[in-house]
Structure 1
Amino acid sequence: MAFAGKHELETHENHEEFSKETAMIYSNAEFDLQGTAKINDGKLSLQFPESFFTAEIVNDKLEMTCVTPGENGVTYKRVSRRI
């Protein structure tokens, strides 16, 4: 499976904005997320109540994107390399 293995963060964009939008910044609380995972054309996707998540391998890098809904939605993107 292409997603298997360990990955190390290389870059990320809009982390603080995304965290504020989803009320997770500096929170030490535990929480459970439940959703149905789908894989289409090598892209993993999950719909959550407060965001939509996708992950895919692009040029041997793991690209993950989380988007909050609405007109003022925030997109958080992180890119990791396989180690």
Structure 2
Amino acid sequence: MAFTGKYELESQENYVEFLEAIGLLSAKTDHKVVTEVAQDGNNFTWMQTIPNWTWSNKFTVGQECELATMTGSKFRAPVTMEGGKISIQFPQYHFTAEISNGKLVMTCVTPGEKGVTFKRINKRI
């Protein structure tokens, strides 16, 4: 499947500004995030890892799913895919992910007039 694989952070834009916008500046790390994605049709397991911390969500595209934020808070949201791009509305930002030129590109956008767009490009490892 297109998303299945293990990826390592290659570059990112507006990381500190994003963490500040969602109130998680204290969670800033210089570790390279490793993202593992397992896709079986519309079913996904999405896991991000740095030393001493792992964040994981399981979801099905086209359904409302129970998900967890980076801090472990649970919420429910529909997961959609359009044009090969996964889309999820988290409580504090809108998340999209796609494969572009063999890389996993994740974008998080905070709402409002002064919204922050955080972009992470991950290379397959």
For normalisation by structure 2, the TM-score amounts to 0.61
TM superposition outliers: structure 1 runs of 4+ over 4 Å:
none
User: How many percent of aligned residue pairs carry the same amino acid?
Assistant: 50
Question: Matches of 2:74 and 2:83 in 1, distance apart?
Answer: 24
- Kindly state the Cα deviation for residue 41 of structure 1 after the two structures are TM-superposed: 1.3
- Kindly state the Cα deviation for residue 30 of structure 1 after the two structures are TM-superposed: 3.7
For residues 1-83 of structure 1, what are the structure 2 equivalents within 5 Å? 1-27=1-27, 30-34=71-75, 35-83=77-125
- Kindly state the Cα deviation for residue 12 of structure 1 after the two structures are TM-superposed: 0.4
Question: Matches of 2:88 and 2:123 in 1, distance apart?
Answer: 21
- CA 57–41 in structure 1, closer or farther in 2 if over 3 Å, else same: same
Segments of structure 2 that go 5 or more residues without pairing to the other structure are 28-69
Q: Which has the higher contact order (CA 8 A, sep 6+)?
A: 1
- Kindly state the Cα deviation for residue 38 of structure 1 after the two structures are TM-superposed: 0.9
Aligned residues: 83
Segments of structure 1 that go 5 or more residues without pairing to the other structure are none
Equivalent residue of 1:76, what SS?
strand
CA RMSD of aligned residues (A): 1.8
Question: Matches of 1:41 and 1:14 in 2, distance apart?
Answer: 25
